[in-house]
Amino acid sequence: MSLLGKAGRASAELESGFAAHRAGVDRLLASYAAIPRDANVRLAKKTSNLFRARARSNAPGLDVSGLNRVIEVDPVAKTADVAGMTTYEDLVAATLPYGLSPLVVPQLKTITLGGAVTGLGIESTSFRNGLPHESVLEMDVLTGSGEIVTTSPTENADLFRGFPNSYGTLGYSTRLKIELESVQPYVALRHVRFHDLGELETVMAQIIADRAYAGERVDYLDGAVFTADESYLILGRQTDEPGPVSDYTGMDIYYQSIQHDSAQPKRDRLTIHDYLWRWDTDWFWCSRAFGTQNPSIRRFWPKQYRRSSFYWKLIALDHKYDIGDRLEARKGNPPRERVVQDIEVPIERTAEFLRWFLAEIPIEPIWLCPLRLRDDTVISDERLQQSGASRQWPLYPLEPGRTYVNIGFWSAVPTTPGQGEGAANRAIERKVTELDGHKSLYSDSFYERDEFAQLYGGDVYTRLKKDYDPDQRLLDLYSKAVQRK
């Protein structure tokens, strides 16, 4: 085919992509108009990556069925236009053929780009690329008032800055234009073991400062804690060097491959595709709750069902029928409290939090992922400045120039008779606040309203809510994230 013919085909595909997107937006707006004025606006989606209860409603929801595709990948500009309900699995499938990837790819395939921006996403590039919303160049948002508003650092910048961590309470993204970065075909891994949490904290800080360890570049950085004297930093380096690679979608389990007794780092290699989804096959380590890690069961567990989206369906059944608590009751045990959380503490408080957690909360392993806001982030909107926002992203106010560590733990613990609801979660919330940290809102929260407002936007959020959802068609953030359903 001639160059002219290829250019014509590319132009036609681009127009087709945007035409399909416009049709999807039209269906979305029509569904908004069909929702009764006295009913809360919500998404008409059956699945969610949230671990807290979703509001029940008999009213029809927003039709987002046409907003689940990659509209365009521009390999020259290294950008992509993406519909808000597009999963990272589909986004990565569209970018990798160009040798490109989103700057941050959350660990689970069914997380959507819009969900990672209105919530919070994180991964092993976050120590150098920040959080997913920091690579957004422009975004279209269906606000609570039913308008499609285009936002960017210079256009409706107050909404642009206030959208992250709003969890759909200010609106829903319909299109996002994001930055991409070049990637190599493979990732060379080193698993570095530590016997002391303080040493792990010190080395992690040095790696972030140097972007290297023992003379090798570090492009990806996360970690895992099994006990107080067994923890690991997982260092990844992009490479185009051919060679054998591991496969953790079969009988071998990724997180188990990290562990070793050697004083030297354990080495491994993955394709870039398998590296990005290394945690999804076993939902980090949580697949063990379903027996999937038992070799005799795993051998017969269909490969297509070894993924986070299927485990979610099993979790939904457990929630619906209280299967776990019923089984515990048969053993004479009390119900268990779900402790599924991601928190951030300043890096210098990491070992302190981990020691407290390991002593107080019987959950292991624990995931570690360092992060820093990107250096080029600035507040450019006068209204945002005048509202009292001193941080770039006011609904989740991390300090520029400061390194944090995300600590993830996902399991359940026995309840103690006489303790109030959410005793373990409340203790974690108190400790995180004490250490000048933050907690993600995708799961159960127990803050009082005043404390919640102080932690998550305060007057800035109130003003944004008034400007972009004046009739309160959407739930407010406290009602969505904290109040018991």
Q: Which residue has the tokens 């019987």?
A: 362
Is residue 441 assigned to a domain? no
Instruction: Tell me the pLDDT band of 17, cut-offs 50, 70 and 90.
Output: confident
3-state secondary structure of 265: coil
230: amino acid identity, one letter: E
* Three-class HEC string of 298-361: HCCCCHHHCCHHHHHHHHHHHHHHCHHHHHHHHCCCCCEEEEEEEEEEEHHHHHHHHHHHHHHC
Instruction: Tell me the pLDDT band of 49, cut-offs 50, 70 and 90.
Output: low
Whole-number pLDDT of residue 51: 60
Q: Average pLDDT, whole number, for the chain?
A: 90
Q: What is the four-CA torsion angle of 167, 169, 173, 176, rounded to 10 degrees?
A: -50
Query: Cα Rg for the chain, rounded, in angstroms?
Result: 22
Is residue 285 assigned to a domain? no
Whole-number pLDDT of residue 60: 77
- C-beta separation of 162 from 394 below 8 A: yes
pTM tops 0.85: yes
CA dist., res. 369 & res. 233, Å (int): 9
Instruction: Tell me the pLDDT band of 54, cut-offs 50, 70 and 90.
Output: low
In angstroms, the Cα distances linking 176 to 136, 294, 307 are 7, 41, 26
What single-letter DSSP state applies at residue 330? H
**pLDDT tens digits, residue range 119-133?**
989 999 999 999 999
**pLDDT tens digits, residue range 354-371?**
999 999 999 999 999 999
Whole-number pLDDT of residue 294: 96
Mean pLDDT over residues 442-450, rounded? 94
CA dist., res. 199 & res. 229, Å (int): 11
The residue with greater pLDDT, 232 or 2, is 232
Which domain CATH number covers 48? Answer: 3.30.465.10
Whether cis (ω within 30° of 0) applies to the bond prior to 75 is no
Is residue 404 assigned to a domain? no
- Asked if the model's pLDDT at residue 389 lies above 50, the reply is no
Is residue 158 assigned to a domain? yes
CB count, 10 Å around CB of 10?
11
- Asked if the model's pLDDT at residue 329 lies above 90, the reply is no
The residue with greater pLDDT, 346 or 380, is 346
**pLDDT tens digits, residue range 415-426?**
988 888 999 999
CA dist., res. 415 & res. 398, Å (int): 33
- Asked if the model's pLDDT at residue 7 lies above 50, the reply is no
**pLDDT tens digits, residue range 59-77?**
678 999 999 999 999 999 9
Instruction: Tell me the pLDDT band of 390, cut-offs 50, 70 and 90.
Output: very low
**206 Cβ partners below 8 Å, 6+ apart?**
213
Whole-number pLDDT of residue 6: 47
3-state secondary structure of 258: helix
- Asked if the model's pLDDT at residue 183 lies above 50, the reply is yes
Strand intervals (E) in 305-335: none
In angstroms, the Cα distances linking 370 to 49, 111, 377 are 22, 20, 18
Mean pLDDT over residues 328-347, rounded? 89
Instruction: Tell me the pLDDT band of 15, cut-offs 50, 70 and 90.
Output: low
Is residue 171 assigned to a domain? yes
Alpha helices in 190-331 (DSSP H): 197-210, 254-258, 272-276, 295-298, 308-321, 323-330
Whole-number pLDDT of residue 4: 46
Is residue 139 assigned to a domain? yes
Provide the domain count of the chain: 1
Is residue 216 assigned to a domain? no
Strand intervals (E) in 55-195: 70-74, 79-83, 100-102, 136-143, 148-151, 171-182, 186-194
Q: What is the four-CA torsion angle of 377, 381, 386, 390, rounded to 10 degrees?
A: -10
Dmax (CA) for the chain in angstroms is: 76
What single-letter DSSP state applies at residue 290? G
- Asked if the model's pLDDT at residue 56 lies above 90, the reply is no
Mean pLDDT over residues 29-46, rounded? 87
> What's the token pair of residue 319?
């929630």
Is residue 101 assigned to a domain? yes
Which structural domain, as residue segments, surrounds residue 43? 3-182
Whole-number pLDDT of residue 124: 98
In angstroms, the Cα distances linking 295 to 253, 282, 435 are 10, 13, 41
**393 Cβ partners below 8 Å, 6+ apart?**
133, 161, 162, 164, 165, 373
**pLDDT tens digits, residue range 305-324?**
999 999 988 888 877 777 77
Choice among 325-334, 343-352, 427-436 with the minimum mean pLDDT: 325-334
Instruction: Tell me the pLDDT band of 384, cut-offs 50, 70 and 90.
Output: very low
- C-beta separation of 347 from 370 below 8 A: yes
3-state secondary structure of 357: helix
> What's the token pair of residue 4?
């002219």
Whole-number pLDDT of residue 379: 43
129 phi/psi in degrees, rounded to 5 = -115, 0
